[in-house]
Amino acid sequence: MARYIRFSRSAYYGVVAAIPLLVAYELLLAAGAGAAPVAVRNAADAWLRMVLAGFGLRPSQVTLGMILVLILCVPLLRRAHTPLHWRYLLLMLLEAAAYSLVLGLLIQGILHLLLAPLLRDAGVDATTALQMLLPSGVAAGGPLAQGGWSMESGRMQALALSLGAGLFEEFVFRVLLLGMLMAVLRLVFAGWLCAALSIVTAAFLFALAHHVGPLGEPLTAQAFLFRWVAGLLFTLLYYARGFGVTAYAHALYDIRILLF
């Protein structure tokens, strides 16, 4: 078990796990494009594509390039005596599925503790208060999409965007953003304080990203707090279990919220 925990948390296993996630995301978007009026992509994916487009890359080249980069990273990130056990990848998927269920319960419980007393004081009954705490159809990263997506666009695109949220939002907000925050704050703070400040800030920016720009959701305290709590839990999970498990937990969480 100790070997599984160490290996599954590594960047090597994270990259290997990301390859099928990226391929499935692109295939589902392509399959669902015929029923949609406009192309839809996860916003974090679109941001990365905008950066790469500045180097003259076309969309098809970006897609192929992302897949090739992941494949090339596999041998580069593999350390000596780090075997690739396929059963570990299956265990990572099962572990992520369990986390997706637990995180849903934790988010609901934390929001209930924080907001339910305020809503009751405002004269809102308990049943209505609980419904207000979790916005209907809102996933931790679901609405963070570019291209005018709605549930009417199709379940296939909803599934694709859930996979894209797990892959691209975890990469942008956890791998890149959290990594940069920790590198900068480590210059001023040490140990647990650096980690705590980085996690809280990364989660705050994750929540804020869903409410900025022309495609952002209207900002309400309820929706923002919902995603800040979700961002905190996903960031803690990434800090403890690495990219692979967290990306799949995020994707499975969004699938459950958006499709069931």
| pTM for the model | 0.84
Tens-digit pLDDT string for the chain (260 aa): 888 999 999 999 999 999 999 999 988 888 866 555 445 677 777 777 777 777 777 766 777 788 888 888 888 788 766 788 899 999 999 999 999 999 988 988 888 787 767 666 656 555 555 555 554 444 555 545 555 545 445 677 788 888 988 999 999 999 999 999 999 999 999 888 999 999 999 999 998 888 776 666 777 777 888 889 999 999 999 989 999 999 999 999 999 887 76
Beta-strand pair 41-42/145-146: antiparallel
Q: Can you give the three-state secondary structure of the chain, one letter per residue?
A: CHHHHHHHCCHHHHHHHHHHHHHHHHHHHHHHHHHCCCCCEEHHHHHHHHHHHCCCCCHHHHHHHHHHHHHHHHHHHCCCCCCCCHHHHHHHHHHHHHHHHHHHHHHHHHHHHHHHHHHHHCCCCHHHHHHHHCCCCCCCCCCCEECCCCHHHCHHHHHHHHHHHHHHHHHHHHHHHHHHHHHHHCCCCCHHHHHHHHHHHHHHHHHHHCCCCCCCCCCCHHHHHHHHHHHHHHHHHHHHHHHHHHHHHHHHHHHHHHHC
Q: What is the pLDDT of residue 226?
A: 87
Give Cβ neighbours of residue 158 (< 8 Å, ≥ 6 apart).
Answer: 142, 151, 258, 259
- Summarize pLDDT for 1-51 with one digit per residue, the tens: 888 999 999 999 999 999 999 999 988 888 866 555 445 677 777 777 777
Q: What is the pLDDT of residue 123?
A: 61
**Domain ranges for the chain:** 2-259
Give Cβ neighbours of residue 5 (< 8 Å, ≥ 6 apart).
Answer: none
- Summarize pLDDT for 141-150 with one digit per residue, the tens: 554 555 554 5
